[in-house]
Amino acid sequence: MRLVTVKASGRQVLDLLRSEGVSLESTPVKWFYRVGVAGAPGRLKAYHLGLIYPQTLASALPVLALDPRPGDIVLDLCAAPGGKTTHMAQLMEERGVVVANDRKFARITALTANIKRLGLTNILVTFYRGERFPLECGFDRILVDAPCSGEGKYRVGERGEMLFSRGRATNLPAIQKGILKRAFDLLRPGGELVYSTCTFNPEENEGVLTYLLGKREAQVLGWDPPLPACEGITEFEGVKYDPACRRCRRFYPHQTDTVGFFVARVAKPR
């Protein structure tokens, strides 16, 4: 759970949560707590007052890697339902602009509802396919938290049953490549983007990044995350990926006790 410090201080939010019987455990990530709640977080006063946002600890990682700062012009290309969008706006202290884009109208509804609930004022919502976002704009930082197969969320129950899985009805790597290439083209010279997924599949991670490196003059940057991580891989089942993929970071549930993630930082030369 993330504390939202727009309407109240972190201490005030913590006091309100504790008054409702919520147990809280600190994490290495600012504003993020592991919580013990009897029932859904949506029943809490803090939720309805826009003082908390329920989300996994791992979902903070792409935003921390991007490091948006006050005054930046930022694009979240696949924004709904808004966890990472609103986290960026909070880090930016509502100075600068976050353009929150999504391609599905139903998800836009959830996105705008969360922005309004939290009371954030520096977010502009747009409705485009990510790979067709208008090139007339230029951004300092871009987040591509791409649609993916979600393998990092898979869980197995006590009886060995699969508690979560997602079918693959579409060619996800093709979609991801189109979105990432457009994101790079939208960066201003000297700008940075983060490409992230919640899957382990190299075709959707290192494979997509290798595609970008073959099409554009992009630079993969290193990153020192606050949670245990492994390097990106450079070969899987006979398929080789660009050596720069080692600078990416893979997060595994058995090491972090949260959802699995892949995070890559990419810079556009000046």
Do 183 and 236 lie in one domain? The reply is: yes
Q: Are residues 201 and 234 in the same domain?
A: yes
**Residue 136 shares a structural domain with residue 63:** yes
Indicate if 46 and 92 belong to the same structural domain. no
State pTM to two decimals.
Answer: 0.94
**pLDDT value of residue 170:** 73
148 annotated active-site: no
**198 and 231 within one domain:** yes
Question: 202 with 118, same domain?
Answer: yes
Q: How many residues does the chain have?
A: 270
Residue 23 shares a structural domain with residue 67: no
Which residue range forms the structural domain that includes residue 33? Answer: 2-53
Check residue 124 and give its pLDDT.
97
Nearest Cα neighbor of 186 from 134, 124, 147 is 134
pLDDT at 164: 54
Q: Which of 198, 230, 245, 248 is catalytic?
A: 198
What is the mean pLDDT of each successive set of 10 residues along the chain, which is 270 residues long?
Answer: 95 94 94 81 93 96 98 98 97 96 94 97 96 96 96 64 56 96 98 97 98 98 97 97 98 94 97
Same domain flag for 48 and 75: no
- CATH number, domain of 14, equals 3.30.70
- Residues 45, 157, single domain; the answer is no
| Distance in angstroms (rounded) separating the CA atoms of residues 216 and 259 | 31
CATH of the domain at 224: 3.40.50.150
pLDDT computed for residue 39 by the predictor: 66
Residues 119 and 248 in one domain: yes
192 shares a domain with 223: yes
* Same domain, residue pair 61 and 47: no
**Residue 147 CB-density burial (10 A; 0-12 exposed, 13-18 middle, 19+ buried):** middle
Three-state helix/strand/coil letters over the chain: CEECCCCCCHHHHHHHHHHCCCEEEECCCCCEEEEECCCCHHHCHHHHCCCEECCCHHHHHHHHHHCCCCCCEEEECCCCCCHHHHHHHHHCCCCCEEEEECCCHHHHHHHHHHHHHHCCCCEEEECCCHHHCCCCCCEEEEEEECCCCCHHHCEECCCCCEEECCCCCCCHHHHHHHHHHHHHHHEEEEEEEEEEECCCCHHHCHHHHHHHHHHCCCEEECCCCCCCCEECCCEECCEECCHHHHHCEEECHHHHCCCCEEEEEEECCC
Final residue of a structural domain among 35, 53, 71: 53
pLDDT of 153: 80
Distance CA 85, CA 116 (A): 12
**Domains contained in the chain, number:** 2
Contacts of 238 (CB under 8 A, 6+ apart): none
